């Protein structure tokens, strides 16, 4: 039941975000005196509507977004819905370029505001990752000595681990393994796609040691550098592909000072800066994610036909809602709202791409028209006027076909082979 509630709540969150996106367009258009004739949540048949002034507001039967009708967005629309002569000054394309730019970008700005507000509420009053804890996990090479090599539980029959026999101590900072520095570096653990960490360097170096041969472990203990001879033993592990692999181990784990809390709350003032920092980090990650979308298409296709679903492949609204359901079912509300914030930021950025039919495409055309008119004046040529959107229809349809195809691909993958985060 909690899962279903989570799916509904996340889908509702998306619908509200998209509706507010359209409200951003409408609000700024009305602010600048433009003529707004319709504002609807959803598509398809009208379920309910009312008129206030010149604008009809309502709800349609398919809750997959919303739309706002601003008179004169294109010449084609103007021809389909003529504007009375006394209202011509309110037509969209007759307004100053900066006003049109504000109206077109307002939807994305709303997404950015929503994403920031969600992050601000989380870091200020709920929970945020403690930077000191994150830094310790990423850069720390302090060790926790394990009594034996059994990954589950030590018994009296187990031999002491090589780290115990060698005299390593919990809290030692591992600097180098057999002369190879591990502190101050960041490595991806061999055979995985985990984020690079200093501890990844430790794991790689230890696993590559020959068994039953003493290796030099240089550690820092109480401010003094000490060399300790440790003889690793081979153990059998199960790799990510399910196959058994034999690696060297010495019986140590990464130690994090228990006095460092994994989470922290900042309060309303400091939370602004913390949310801004997180926004900057998300911007970088989203830029990288958008650039990597084409290379993820084959992985999505393979997932549909039974291949393992890569957790870094894109998800549709269906997949995001399913993840939201999982998070609610597992009481992971912070993850739920982080996902919703990330989605708002992503939609805001994606919508500004300079391609039709996205808002960014309309902005690019408006500025292109201005630049073209300016050049014509400089060359004493007649103003070429507005761009003929009809000539751009093939490009627009191509973008739409790609978008629809990609949407169908992600929706199908999210139905037949969804990403699962709580296993």
pLDDT digits (tens, 9 = 90+) for 271-305: 999 999 989 988 888 888 888 888 888 888 888 88
Instruction: State how far the Cα of 144 lies from the Cα of 209, in Å rounded to an integer.
Output: 19
78 band by pLDDT with thresholds 50, 70 and 90: low
H helix intervals, 51-161 = 75-80, 97-121, 131-139
Q: Is the pLDDT of residue 115 over 90?
A: yes
Q: Assess contact for 183 and 143: CB atoms under 8 A.
A: no
- What are phi and psi for residue 343, nearest 5 degrees? -65, -40
Q: Which residues are catalytic?
A: 22
Specify which residues 217 forms β-bridges with: 177, 228
Q: Is the pLDDT of residue 328 over 70?
A: yes
Q: Assess contact for 169 and 145: CB atoms under 8 A.
A: yes
> In the prediction, which pLDDT does 380 show?
83
Global pTM reads 0.81
> In the prediction, which pLDDT does 79 show?
61
> In the prediction, which pLDDT does 193 show?
73
At 102, list the tokens.
């504000």
Q: Is the pLDDT of residue 11 over 80?
A: yes
Specify which residues 252 forms β-bridges with: 145
DSSP element (H, E) containing 130: none
Instruction: State how far the Cα of 57 lies from the Cα of 26, in Å rounded to an integer.
Output: 11
Q: What is the mean pLDDT of residues 308-323?
A: 86
Question: Domain segments of the chain: what residues?
Answer: 99-130+267-423, 134-254
Q: Is the pLDDT of residue 20 over 90?
A: yes
Please write the tens of the pLDDT for every residue from 337-378.
Answer: 999 999 999 999 989 989 888 899 999 998 998 888 898 888
Please write the tens of the pLDDT for every residue from 141-156.
Answer: 899 998 887 766 777 7
> In the prediction, which pLDDT does 94 show?
85
> In the prediction, which pLDDT does 120 show?
95
- What are phi and psi for residue 245, nearest 5 degrees? -130, 145
157 band by pLDDT with thresholds 50, 70 and 90: confident
> In the prediction, which pLDDT does 389 show?
80
Instruction: State how far the Cα of 177 lies from the Cα of 198, in Å rounded to an integer.
Output: 13
335 burial (CB, 10 Å; 0-12 / 13-18 / 19+) is middle
> In the prediction, which pLDDT does 113 show?
95
What residue has token string 């203990």?
Answer: 221
Please write the tens of the pLDDT for every residue from 192-236.
Answer: 778 899 999 999 999 888 888 899 999 999 989 999 999 998 877
> In the prediction, which pLDDT does 217 show?
93
Q: Is the pLDDT of residue 77 over 80?
A: no
The arrangement of strands across the sheet holding 173-177 comes to 180-181, 173-177, 215-221, 224-230
Q: Assess contact for 94 and 36: CB atoms under 8 A.
A: no
Q: Assess contact for 68 and 35: CB atoms under 8 A.
A: no
Specify which residues 57 forms β-bridges with: 39, 50
Q: Which is more confident, 85 or 110?
A: 110
> In the prediction, which pLDDT does 80 show?
64
Q: What is the mean pLDDT of residues 394-410?
A: 88
CATH architecture type of domain 134-254: Roll (2.30)
Q: Is the pLDDT of residue 319 over 70?
A: yes
First to last CA, the chain: 18
391 band by pLDDT with thresholds 50, 70 and 90: confident
At 179, list the tokens.
């002369």
> In the prediction, which pLDDT does 74 show?
67
> In the prediction, which pLDDT does 342 show?
92
> In the prediction, which pLDDT does 75 show?
64
> In the prediction, which pLDDT does 93 show?
84
Q: Is the pLDDT of residue 28 over 70?
A: yes
> In the prediction, which pLDDT does 345 show?
93
Distances, alpha carbon 68 to alpha carbons 38, 50, 75, 107, 365, in Å: 6, 14, 17, 11, 20
Please write the tens of the pLDDT for every residue from 236-266.
Answer: 766 555 677 788 888 899 998 888 889 889 9
Q: What is the mean pLDDT of residues 317-332?
A: 89
């Amino acid at each position: 039941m909690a899962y279903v509630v989570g799916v509904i709540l996340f889908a509702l969150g998306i619908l509200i975000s998209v509706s507010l996106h359209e409200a951003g367009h409408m609000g700024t258009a009305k602010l600048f005196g433009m003529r707004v004739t319709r504002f609807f949540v959803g598509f398809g048949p009208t379920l309910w509507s009312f008129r206030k002034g010149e604008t009809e507001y309502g709800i349609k039967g398919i809750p997959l977004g919303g739309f706002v009708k601003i008179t004169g967005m294109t010449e084609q629309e103007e021809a389909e819905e003529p504007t009375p002569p006394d209202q011509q000054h309110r037509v969209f394309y007759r307004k100053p370029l900066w006003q049109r730019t504000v109206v077109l970008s307002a939807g994305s700005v709303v997404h950015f505001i929503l994403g920031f507000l969600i992050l601000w509420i989380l870091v200020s009053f709920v929970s945020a990752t403690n930077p000191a804890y994150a830094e310790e996990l990423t850069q720390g090479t302090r060790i926790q000595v394990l009594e034996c090599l059994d990954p589950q539980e030590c018994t009296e029959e187990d031999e002491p681990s090589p780290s115990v026999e060698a005299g390593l101590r919990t809290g030692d900072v591992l600097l180098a393994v057999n002369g190879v520095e591990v502190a101050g570096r960041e490595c991806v653990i061999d055979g995985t796609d985990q984020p690079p960490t200093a501890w990844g360097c430790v794991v790689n170096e230890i696993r590559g040691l020959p068994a039953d041969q003493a290796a030099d472990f240089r550690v820092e203990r109480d401010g003094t550098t000490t060399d300790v001879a440790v003889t690793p033993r081979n153990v059998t592990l199960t790799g990510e592909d399910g196959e058994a692999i034999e690696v060297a181990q010495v019986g140590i784990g990464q130690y994090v000072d228990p006095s460092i809390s994994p989470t922290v709350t900042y309060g309303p003032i400091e939370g602004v800066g913390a949310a801004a920092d997180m926004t900057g980090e998300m911007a970088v990650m989203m830029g990288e994610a958008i650039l990597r979308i084409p290379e993820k298409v084959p992985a999505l296709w393979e997932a549909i036909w039974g291949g393992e679903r890569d957790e870094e492949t894109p998800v549709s609204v269906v997949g995001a809602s399913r993840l939201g359901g999982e998070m609610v079912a597992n009481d992971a509300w912070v993850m739920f709202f982080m996902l919703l914030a990330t989605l708002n930021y992503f939609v805001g950025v994606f919508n500004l791409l300079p391609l039709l039919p996205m808002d960014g495409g309309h902005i690019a055309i408006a500025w292109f028209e201005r630049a073209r008119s300016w050049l014509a004046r400089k060359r004493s040529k007649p103003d070429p006027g507005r761009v003929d959107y009809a000539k751009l229809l093939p490009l627009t349809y191509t973008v739409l076909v790609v978008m629809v195809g990609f949407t169908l691909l992600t929706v199908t993958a999210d139905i037949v082979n969804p990403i699962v985060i709580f296993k």
